[in-house]
Structure 1
Amino acid sequence: MSFRDIVVYLDAGVHCTNRVHTAVDLAAKYGARLVGVDISTKAALEGESRDAALAIRQLFVTALQGTNIDFEYRKAPPDARTAEELSSHCADFLIATQANPDDRHLSNPAVPEAVLLSAGVPMLVLPAGWRAENPIGNNVVVAWNFSREATRAVHDALPILRAAQKVYLFIFAPNYSNDNADVQDIKAHLERHGVRVTLAGWRDGGETDMTSALFAGLDRGDADLIVCGAFGHSRLSEAVFGGATKVLLSNVSMPVFMSH
């Protein structure tokens, strides 16, 4: 298994350049085709943002010059809402950035949240302010809770996990032990896929929550990517990107590779 098609969303916002260069680096790393999908709104073509919006295609093409990457630029309808209209179905993963309140009106509001919900394709969400020269995927933390969502995320991310220098398997549970049979099962499964696994469990004693424990552990692991499932609780309890999912997606420290 490897990545063959990557989609990166393009807009006139301040984070687009670094997002594009990150996408180019990842496409080169995995030998994937890169599709840039322009998700500019009608508002982006007005006022001060107009020049940047008109230059999006050239920005994308220029970033790929001198590479051997197969690529394509696409323009989504300004009012696109479906995963099909946003070219997300025929991809191994999508790349977006956290919503930026200052220029949110310049890009399609369906990205990232609604697309992640509807596409059936994992998404790499970069933090606001992410710089393309930052490492990504060398030291990965897998947030594992034996759920359907976590299982999907782990298998979607296998090419990343196999290429990583180290993968920390983070499990937050009241009865956590490295020797638990279910812990050893997932560790052994990943190792059979060529993943270098380090157990990094946390026994839940009620004094903290999962995301706080996760980020406390990240300081020790020097991690540069989180892999996790989205919407591990009911839609009502998470209120669309609430709970742990919302906290992980709004973190300012590192990218999140998320599956729903």
Structure 2
Amino acid sequence: MNCKTLLVHLDDSAHSAARLAYAMEVAAHHDAHLIGLYAVSEEPVDPLFVHGENVWSRRREAQRSANETTAHTHFVAQTERAGVNAEWRAPGGVPTQAAITHARHADLLVLGEDDPKDRSAFVARHFLEDVIIGSGRPAIVVPYAGAVHPRMDNVMIAWDGGRESARAAMDALPLISRAAFVTVMTMERHSHHGEPAGIDVAAWLKRHGIEAGFATLSGVSGADAGTTLLNALADRHIDLLVMGAYGHARAHERVLGGVTRTMLQSMTTPVLMSH
């Protein structure tokens, strides 16, 4: 994968600016074209009263238009200041499907972790996971908590031998080619006799010019795999985690794998996910 077209999701949330800054750094590093995709919730954020409905509706549309203008102005100002080749898109229609459609024409997505305390960050139910799983493109999910740095010097690849894990490692190659430290981390309980392990993945990476170490993450009593992995990220001061995104649709609801769900809810560092 060559990173020549990046797409960053923008909205009216407090974290949208940080997400844009992260995407611009990545785009500049790879001399890539940056698409700013503005997609916000279609659901009303205030109660709708029958009396005065037309007045309320007009006010809502006016506010939406003003918010989009503000976001667009910020996007143009920031990308021009950074010298990034960029374009703005604000498609209509159902936001999740619009995001998936436009994402399929990009090499890499930059999305934001859901912030339950910021209602402006809500786009649609399962928006984040639906875009990751439905787009067919790798996505870097940026956490909402704490300062986010676009450096990728210290990288961890979470390897479990599955299809999604292999896809994520391949998609990450152009991003981690200049990393100072790359660690292939396998989970103790996922090791099977005869299956390619961390040392085999490290050898594959070396043939791509990437020096990588490997380690096995032992389980901690009382902690699930996702929590154990989160602890390892903090202990090792990881800049980027690379992992597969596991999920499937059931009864019209997105059901995620345990580690994927934990990361999307509690991430502390940017995570590149592929499905």
TM-score tier, shorter chain, comes to 0.7 to 0.9
Confirm whether residue 149 of structure 1 aligns to residue 168 of structure 2. Answer: no
Measure, in 2, the Cα distance between the counterparts of 1:228 and 1:155: 10
Distance 1:62 1:160, change over 3 A: same
Change (3 A) 1:17 1:172: same
What is residue 104 of structure 2 aligned with on the other side? 89
1:127 aligns with 2:134: no
RMSD of equivalent CA atoms: 2.9
Measure, in 1, the Cα distance between the counterparts of 2:207 and 2:82: 33
Paired residues of 1:36 and 1:74 also in contact (CA < 8 A) = yes
Larger displacement relative to structure 2 (28-37 or 97-106): 97-106
Q: Which has the higher mean CA deviation after the structures are superposed, 71-80 or 213-222? A: 213-222
Say which SS state the counterpart of residue 97 (structure 2) adopts: coil
| Kept in 2: contact 1:191–1:197 (CA 8 A) | yes
Aligned match of 1:17: 17
Distance 2:6 2:190 in 1: 39
Whether 1:57 aligns to 2:54 is no
Within-5 A mapping of 1:40-79 = 40-42=40-42, 43=44, 46=60, 51-79=66-94
Shift of 1:13: 0.9
Bigger radius of gyration, 1 or 2?
A: 2
Q: CA deviation at 1:203?
A: 4.0
If the length of structure 1 is used for normalisation, what is the TM-score? 0.86
Alpha carbons of structure 1 residues 140 and 106: separation in structure 2 relative to 1, 3 Å: closer
Distance 2:65 2:109 in 1: 25
- Partner Cα distance (1:182, 1:107) in 2: 39
Per mean C-alpha deviation after superposition, the further-off stretch among 162-171 and 39-48 is 39-48
Alignment match, 2:260 = 245
CA-CA distance at 1:249 after TM superposition? 1.3
Give 3-state SS (helix, strand or coil) of 1:99's partner.
coil
Q: 1:38 matched to which residue of 2?
A: 38
- Are the counterparts in 2 of residues 8 and 95 from structure 1 also a CA contact under 8 Å? yes
User: Given the alignment of the two structures, is residue 217 of structure 1 paired with residue 217 of structure 2, yes or no?
Assistant: no
Contact 1:39 1:107 in 2 (8 A): no
Contact 1:174 1:205 in 2 (8 A): no
**98-107 vs 220-229, which deviates more?**
98-107
Could you tell which deviates more after superposition, 77-86 or 88-97? 77-86
In structure 2, the CA distance between the partners of 1:200 and 1:229, relative to structure 1 (3 Å rule), is same
Task: Tell me, yes or no, if the aligned pair for 1:12 and 1:107 is still in contact at 8 Å.
Answer: no
* CA distance in 2 between partners of 1:114 and 1:175 (Å): 26
Secondary structure (helix, strand or coil) at the match of 1:55 reads helix
Who is 1:188 aligned against? 203
TM-score by length of 2: 0.81
Q: Are 2:92 and 2:98, in contact at CA under 8 Å, matched by a contact in 1?
A: no
Secondary structure of 1:101's match?
Answer: coil
Report sequence identity in percent.
Answer: 27
2:137, 2:37 → 1: CA distance? 15
1:84 and 1:49 map into 2 onto residues whose CA distance is 18
Shift of 1:41: 3.5
- What is the aligned partner in structure 1 of residue 48 from structure 2? none
The CA distance in 2 between the partners of 1:255 and 1:35, in whole Å, is 19
